Amino acid sequence: MGIFFKESTDTQGEISLNFNDEIIGFLKPFDISSPELDLRNLLINSKSILDQSALVEFKVQNLKGEWKAESISGNSVFECSLKLENYGENTLNLTRLDTFSFNLLHRNWKVTYFSSDWGDECSAKNISLDNGATFGVHSGRSSHGDNPIIYLVREDDGFCIVIAPAWSGNWHIEISKAGSIRAGISPYHLEVPIKPSEKLEAPSVIFSVGSSVLDAREALQISIRDNWIPRSAAIDKAPIEWNHWWPYEDVELNEEIFLANAKIAAEIGVNTVVLDAGWFGKSDLSSNWREHRGDWDLVNGARFPSGLEDLGMKVNKLGVQPGIWLEVEAVGAKSDLRVTSPQVLALNVGGDNSNQSYINRSEGLDKNDPSFLGYVCLGSVEGWQHALDSITRVVTEIGAKWLKLDFNVDPGKGCTRIDHGHSSGDGLFRHYQGLYKLLDTVKKKFPDLLIEACSSGGLRIDLGLAKYVHCFFLSDPDYTEHHLQVLWGASHILPPIAILHWPWSYWRGDYPPSRIAWDEVSIAEFDLIIRAAMLHRFGFSYPLPIFPKRLTERLAYHINVFRESIAPILSHAVLSPLSGPPERGGGGQRISIWVLSSHSNEAQETHLVLGFVLQEKAERLPFEMRFLDSGRHYLITNLENGECQEVLGSEIDSNLIWDISNAASSWIIEIKVRRLIISS
């Protein structure tokens, strides 16, 4: 039977959430607050409760609303939405907009959640609910603090409920000691005015249910993959990118170096070369990218004398497509934009933005002006238009097929100006509404443009933004154990087609965990580094003209493997860990096993098992395969040496995988359907 809704007969108008024959809890189903409203007078006008959907229409004084829960893809993943309308004559101020309100039955639950900071993204943590718990962020970026997803796991049997606010700003999930759950946009400094006749839609909340963490996680991946993220045939092909940033940053970058890399990238099979920060601003070799963000109309002629249009044409002639980095929301402290267009700036009027719950990671602020937040308010008409014009101009000039959209700012409570069309209490809310509208507009203008979301690495990863971008960059650091730990966390919310992270980069700067002597790296070590980043969309950041030739040749081999064996299944795949997470600093499981599975139970069924031995003589723990049909015959192949054998699905276990891997430090093993046994 799976998951279904049912109108409760023994609670006050609540909706029971049922799994098979068991009641899991009761949806209240929402929670709102306003000083102008007496919620005790809330009236339910109508209800429509079906197995896979629930609709509640209500009113309280001069506010009417519609709450809805709908299955995203016909399985156990649901979106809860809340729409409101003021039909009175006076403005109402909303201070709470929780789209998800749930009373959890039983008491024996624990929670897995993930905390994130720069270079420390997606750190898994486990707590009990004996005393309740609160999760969320006040930084103004959805993943700077906690990641916007939790896994509730029943300790008796492993049954799992996933809750994920689909919002890019401040969010919260509150769980009381008694099991009452509220989730949605954070009430922190929130006051959203809704004027007479105005309609408002609150940020939605996604929840997924499964008999285990893996089941709930995979159902969420499938739903987000097939019915949530934007898709197109060209972008689904998973083009391979090269990006200039880590070996050059904005210090050693110029047109000649960029084109020299583009030439080699084309020769080894790369599709797109992305020009990261350093191309814009005044024509000065000493200019700093942080200080001049916002001046997207200026190309740094000292570095790129031919301009963007000519650069794009030269890149195309080399046989690759151009891409470009843009932090369109940001404003540098020394930018011309700050002086010429003060009306677009987000400001914290009064300068009080203190909050001890996070370390402010904003780049390029002005220590002499605490009101300056370092970003363009997209809740203002002029700020929004500036952003759209900037993206349109830059993408058109260079002919970009890839847009890396960064955001290195912590807005905190957001813009408090009252001359932007928003109030002092809903600036951040209106900014993110504006961002979503902006991205939707850009996608319509440039339907084949791949939009990658980045935010100081991975500090704004959420299902709200996932509706408008094709993939998320997971973290600035990318050394292998860190990458695998971050991936373990990120794949709890995103499918592999929506994930991008590079293999261990060639760092120009001195970041101790990323130190590596590339001339001394063996082929086996390099294989592990590269394969670890082939579980999702693939790109890299190496100085190709000076990179060791033997490694460049090996990189070309891996690019071909990705193109031939991984990219074709990625848009239909789910990514499942078959082992526990490795941890930064040598902790966690030191052999990391993963499976990419596509088209299960179909003729084109394919599974790719990837393994990474992070420590010599690490213990080989047994693992269980996923999605295999015990009665099917499979052809199982080591992609490195081509050795293959035909076996039944029931015979494929961890011992067989270890045997076929030939005790290598990394491997990719392909499992494809050979033939289906038909019983007589």
| pLDDT over 60 (residue 616) | yes
| pLDDT over 90 (residue 331) | yes
Tokens at 47, concatenated:
């209800």
Q: Are 600 and 668 in contact (CB under 8 A)?
A: no
pLDDT band at 128; cut points 50, 70, 90 = very high
Question: What tens digit of pLDDT does each residue of 20-29 get?
Answer: 889 999 999 9
* Alpha carbon distance 300, 251 (integer Å): 12
Averaged pLDDT, 94-109: 93
| pLDDT over 80 (residue 352) | no
* Alpha carbon distance 380, 420 (integer Å): 5
* Alpha carbon distance 661, 611 (integer Å): 9
CB atoms within 10 A of CB 71: 19
Tokens at 532, concatenated:
């670890």
* Alpha carbon distance 596, 182 (integer Å): 34
Averaged pLDDT, 158-182: 97
Question: What tens digit of pLDDT does each residue of 415-433 get?
Answer: 999 999 999 999 999 999 9
Predicted pLDDT at 350? 82
Question: What tens digit of pLDDT does each residue of 238-277 get?
Answer: 999 999 999 999 999 999 999 999 999 999 999 999 999 9
What are the residues whose beta carbons fall under 8 Å from the beta carbon of 58, sequence distance 6 or more?
42, 43, 44, 45, 64, 65, 66, 67
**561-564 CB contacts, 8 Å cutoff, 24+ apart:** 561/534, 561/639, 561/668, 562/238, 562/240, 562/534, 562/538, 563/240, 563/269
Q: Are 647 and 657 in contact (CB under 8 A)?
A: no
Domains of the chain: 3-227 (2.70.98.60), 578-676 (2.60.40)
* Alpha carbon distance 300, 461 (integer Å): 31
Predicted pLDDT at 679? 46
* Alpha carbon distance 406, 460 (integer Å): 10
HEC secondary structure over 66-81? EEEEEECCCCCEEEEE
- Bridge pairing between strands 31-33 and 160-165: unpaired
What are the residues whose beta carbons fall under 8 Å from the beta carbon of 188, sequence distance 6 or more?
136, 138, 170, 172, 413
Averaged pLDDT, 338-353: 91
Averaged pLDDT, 38-60: 93
Q: What angle do CA 364, 482, 619 make, to 5 degrees?
A: 170
Averaged pLDDT, 71-86: 93
Averaged pLDDT, 282-309: 96
Q: What angle do CA 131, 580, 539 make, to 5 degrees?
A: 115
Cα–Cα nearest to 466, from 166, 161, 79: 166
| pLDDT over 90 (residue 577) | yes
* Alpha carbon distance 357, 119 (integer Å): 17
* Alpha carbon distance 146, 116 (integer Å): 6
| pLDDT over 90 (residue 358) | no
* Alpha carbon distance 22, 275 (integer Å): 54
Q: Are 544 and 265 in contact (CB under 8 A)?
A: yes
Q: What is the pTM of this model?
A: 0.97
Q: Are 28 and 44 in contact (CB under 8 A)?
A: no
* Alpha carbon distance 243, 247 (integer Å): 9
Radius of gyration of the chain (CA): 25
Q: Are 220 and 208 in contact (CB under 8 A)?
A: yes
pLDDT band at 356; cut points 50, 70, 90 = low
Averaged pLDDT, 170-198: 97
Of residues 353 and 212, more confidence is placed in 212
* Alpha carbon distance 401, 410 (integer Å): 28
Averaged pLDDT, 548-557: 98
| pLDDT over 90 (residue 364) | no
Mean pLDDT of the chain: 95
| pLDDT over 50 (residue 680) | no
SS3 state at 656: helix
- Listing DSSP states for 344-355 in one string gives GEEE-TTS----
Tokens at 76, concatenated:
């156990």
* Alpha carbon distance 427, 164 (integer Å): 23
Enclosing H/E stretch for 33: strand 31-33
Q: What angle do CA 537, 493, 173 make, to 5 degrees?
A: 150
Q: Are 570 and 270 in contact (CB under 8 A)?
A: no
Cα–Cα nearest to 498, from 474, 482, 522: 474
Buried-exposed string 281-300: b where 16+ CB fall within 10 A, e elsewhere: bbeeeebbbbbbbbbbebbb
Averaged pLDDT, 180-185: 98
* Alpha carbon distance 526, 533 (integer Å): 11
Question: What tens digit of pLDDT does each residue of 491-532 get?
Answer: 999 999 999 999 999 999 999 999 999 999 999 999 999 999
Count of residues for the chain?
Answer: 680
Q: Are 382 and 399 in contact (CB under 8 A)?
A: no
What are the residues whose beta carbons fall under 8 Å from the beta carbon of 401, sequence distance 6 or more?
239, 272, 321, 322, 323, 448, 449, 450
Q: Are 402 and 449 in contact (CB under 8 A)?
A: yes
pLDDT band at 107; cut points 50, 70, 90 = confident
Question: What tens digit of pLDDT does each residue of 454-486 get?
Answer: 999 999 999 999 999 999 999 999 999 999 999
* Alpha carbon distance 334, 294 (integer Å): 10
Beta strands in 482-572 (DSSP E): 499-500, 539-540
Averaged pLDDT, 227-243: 97
Averaged pLDDT, 304-314: 98
Predicted pLDDT at 20? 85
Predicted pLDDT at 299? 98
Q: Cα torsion for 483, 489, 493, 497, to the nearest 10°?
A: 20
* Alpha carbon distance 588, 481 (integer Å): 10
Q: Are 638 and 656 in contact (CB under 8 A)?
A: no
Averaged pLDDT, 55-68: 96
| pLDDT over 70 (residue 677) | no
